[in-house]
Structures are given as C-alpha cells and as structure tokens.
Amino acid sequence: MTYKLATYINFETSARQAVEFYQSVLGGKLTMSTFGEYGMAQREDENSLIMHAQLETDSGAVIMASDTPAYMEKPKHGGFSVALFGEDYDSVKDKFAALAEGGQILEPLVKAPWGDYFGMLQDPFGIAWMFNISGGGPDIAAEPESGADS
C-alpha cells in the first residue's frame, strides 16, 4: 500500500498569498478553489476565501492550505514546522533565503554537529520551516590563528 503525506496549513485569510508565495519559491502546480465556488460562504466577504489550495512540486512535495471563514475556529500556528530536506546545497540555500524574505531567520543555515547544513526560519505568514542539506556544502575554513608566523 502506498500513500502520500502532505502538510495542510490553515490560515485566517492569507492562504492565497501564502501558497502563491510558496509556488514562487518551490515551483510546481498550484490549484485553488474558493468558498464562493462551492457555495460554502456564509457571508459575501467570504466568497473569495480559499476553501482548498494544493501545491504539488516537481519533486512530489505537497502543501495544501485553506482560509478560515468567520464560522470556523481561527487557526493557531505553533508546535509544528514544515521541513525541507535536500542534497543540492545551492538550491536549498536559495529556497531558505527566499522563504525568509519578509520573515525571520530563527537559526541561520550553517554546518550542524551531525555534518549536514541546518537552519530554521519563520516565513512572512508565520509558518515555521526547518531546512537540512545533506551531501555537502561549502567548507567552513578555520579562522587563522592570531600572531601566526608567515
């Protein structure tokens, strides 16, 4: 039996902006449906809210999202991170930088004790991300000793 595991994020009203941002960074195919399209909006201003969005990247990663209309409980983010793992240092580093734009770097992307590169950030939509790059990266040169003979 095969299955997929995906991240599903509930936003208050910024699902469209978030998944379009994620698509600009990660690429892939994005589909979206609104509460209005399915007759599920209870107020006029909820017609354009996202009922379901799905981004599937070329590598098979899936991020799904929705907005939260007034009749539903507002989302509380915390206690989870979206994890992005890869082996191509430059590609993952670029995604880290792009997702951090307008957000906050919590741990810079640096060589970790286990030998990979690791970093954490919070994106502009308040979602926590963790990054791990295995398979190498730039070597960290040791600082030259002060007063060393030349």
Classify residue 74: in a domain, yes or no: no
- Are residue 110 and residue 56 in the same domain, yes or no? no
Query: Are 120 and 129 a contacting pair, CB within 8 Å?
Result: yes
HSE-up of residue 53 (Cα within 13 Å, Cβ side): 27
Classify residue 150: in a domain, yes or no: no
Classify residue 143: in a domain, yes or no: no
Residue 44: exposure state from Cβ atoms within 10 A (0-12, 13-18, ≥19): exposed
Query: Are 19 and 11 a contacting pair, CB within 8 Å?
Result: no
Q: What's the predicted TM-score (pTM) here?
A: 0.84
Tell me the residue range of the domain where 22 lies.
1-69
In order along its 150 residues, the chain shows pLDDT tens digits of 777 889 999 999 999 999 999 999 999 999 999 999 998 888 989 999 999 999 999 999 999 999 999 888 888 888 899 999 999 999 999 999 999 999 999 999 999 999 999 999 999 999 999 999 997 777 643 333 444 443
Q: Can you give the pLDDT at residue 143?
A: 34
- Are residue 133 and residue 85 in the same domain, yes or no? yes
